[in-house]
Amino acid sequence: MSHLDDLPPTPGKYKTDKVPPYWMILHHHRYLRLSKLTLWASLFLALFLFYLILSPPPSPSRRNLNDSSSVSAAKYGGSHWEKQVRKSARPRSPGGLTVLVTGASGFVGTHVSIALRRRGDGVLGLDNFNRYYDPKLKRARQGLLERSGVFVVEGDINDAVLLRKLFDVVLFTHVMHLAAQAGVRYAMQNPGSYVNSNIAGFVNLLEVSKSANPQPAIVWASSSSVYGLNSKVPFSEKDRTDQPASLYAATKKAGEGIAHTYNHIYGLSLTGLRFFTVYGPWGRPDMAYFFFTKDILKGKTITVFESPDKGSVARDFTYIDDIVKGCLGALDTAEKSTGSGGKKKGSAMFRIYNLGNTSPVPVTKLVTILEKLLKTKAKKKIMPLPRNGDVEFTHANITLAQAELGYKPTVDLETGLKKFVKWYMGFYTKKKSSW
């Protein structure tokens, strides 16, 4: 018998003398109201539990709420989208590569993607357009890529569903992995973003790549920062890299170890490139040559750091076109991965190369060149180098890359900065420089 059977029948069917006392009716009404409430609450609870069970777990990028570089929701799917993906990834020349470029709307990613496309390779870009620096610049680079025939999928390397979808739609022969949280000093403000992109995101990409059939060969960006406090110059690939000076450097070093593991266990062909301070047109606004230019033009004081012995801080500045040649050389010489569908079938190639200019220039000299190109005297404040991750100097030994990738940098700092300033004036001030 259910509690509903206890309810009084329709009042009209009762004779007056048989009407139950008032307290009993009141009690029954209350009981009825309570039962209805219980029913609605149970229904609501059931629906809520049903929703919880069906909704997917939040992606790591969404969980990273402290990330000011917050990721826009991935936009993908549908037949039109797949058509764009296939078209962009299709090589135009016989024997051309089919390359997934992560971080394609970044500085290096844009240049590498365009260079690959120009020589007839198929290129698909992937970028999350985060706000680490002005996303308008990334969108402008995306426009440039689209005009060159490169479609950029908006999404995160942590999104395994998206990555698997891309590998389902396209049989990538190569991945050029450039997506990362760059910058040394920002790591003190937002450490999570480095772990999210440079470690978790990299592992996710390797996981999906190792399960792909065929497995792609992967070339990825490490960094000269892995040399950290190493004082032996020039920095050689054989030198110690166990003294990182920043969390950025530590995540890049971790990436090299992680890559080795995937090479060892799954037979993925992996090539790490340690870039040395890359500069040039469409560059990164968080880098000194870029914000010095901006501040000198605005008449703002620039801070130039010196080493504790009052010496100048020096960098092995490397022009973007030279880096692009090194990336293409690494892709072209990468042997195939040996595994398939997550199983290793033999040993695969694992390489690490320095890509630098092998001629360090003091930052004071960089300022002098900019003053000359901008025809403006800089207001300078000289400060001791703070201990926030920057090292005093970098200097690449490039013998290995020369021998094995045919890498040969040709652009000196003054020539490269001339090209950068020309681009900067055109892009930001719409004034053409006199160069």
Ligand X SMILES: NC(=O)c1ccc[n+]([C@@H]2O[C@H](COP(=O)([O-])OP(=O)(O)OC[C@H]3O[C@@H](n4cnc5c(N)ncnc54)[C@H](O)[C@@H]3O)[C@@H](O)[C@H]2O)c1
Binding of ligand X at residue 127 (CB under 6 A)?
A: yes
Stretch that binds ligand X, among 89-97, 100-108, 391-399, 407-415 (CB under 6 A): 100-108
The answer to whether 248 is a known catalytic residue is yes
- Binding of ligand X at residue 241 (CB under 6 A)? no
Residue of 81, 129, 350, 393 that binds ligand X (CB under 6 A): 129
How many residues of this chain interact with ligand X, rule: CB under 6 A? Answer: 28
Query: Is the Cβ–Cβ distance between 256 and 222 less than 8 Å?
Result: yes
Separation CA 267–CA 340 (nearest Å): 8
Nearest-angstrom CA–CA distance, 261 and 253: 13
Q: Does 181 bind ligand X (CB under 6 A)?
A: yes
Q: Which two tokens stand for residue 157?
A: 């390397």
Catalytic option among 132, 186, 194, 248: 248
Q: Which residues, in sequence order, are CB contacts of 55 under 8 Å at separation 6+?
A: none
End-to-end CA distance of the chain: 94
Give 4's DSSP letter.
Answer: G
What is the Cα–Cα distance from 268 to 210, expressed in whole angstroms?
A: 6
Q: Which two tokens stand for residue 174?
A: 């190569």
277 is an interface residue for ligand X by CB under 6 A: yes
Hey, how many other C-beta atoms are within 10 angstroms of the C-beta on 361?
18
Selected range binding ligand X among 177-185, 295-303, 388-396, 402-410, rule: CB under 6 A = 177-185
Asked if residue 201 binds ligand X (CB under 6 A), the reply is yes
Q: Applying CB under 6 A, which of residues 108, 203, 331, 378 lies at the interface with ligand X?
A: 108
103 binds ligand X (CB under 6 A): yes
Closer to ligand X at the Cβ: 91 or 322? 322
Which residue's CB atom is positioned nearest to ligand X?
Answer: 106
**Measured distance CA(340)–CA(115) in Å, rounded:** 29
CA 262 to chain centre: 19
Residue numbers 321-340 binding ligand X by CB under 6 A? none
Check binding of 106 to ligand X (CB under 6 A). yes
Q: Residue 221, interface with ligand X (CB under 6 A)?
A: yes
Angle formed at CA 312 by CA 307 and CA 318, multiple of 5 degrees: 115
Residue 109 touches ligand X, criterion: CB under 6 A: yes
| Selected range binding ligand X among 51-59, 122-130, 142-150, 400-408, rule: CB under 6 A | 122-130
Structural element, H or E, at residue 100: strand 98-102
Which parts of this chain interact with ligand X (CB under 6 A)? 102-103, 105-109, 127-130, 138, 156-158, 178-182, 197, 201, 221, 223, 275, 277-278, 284
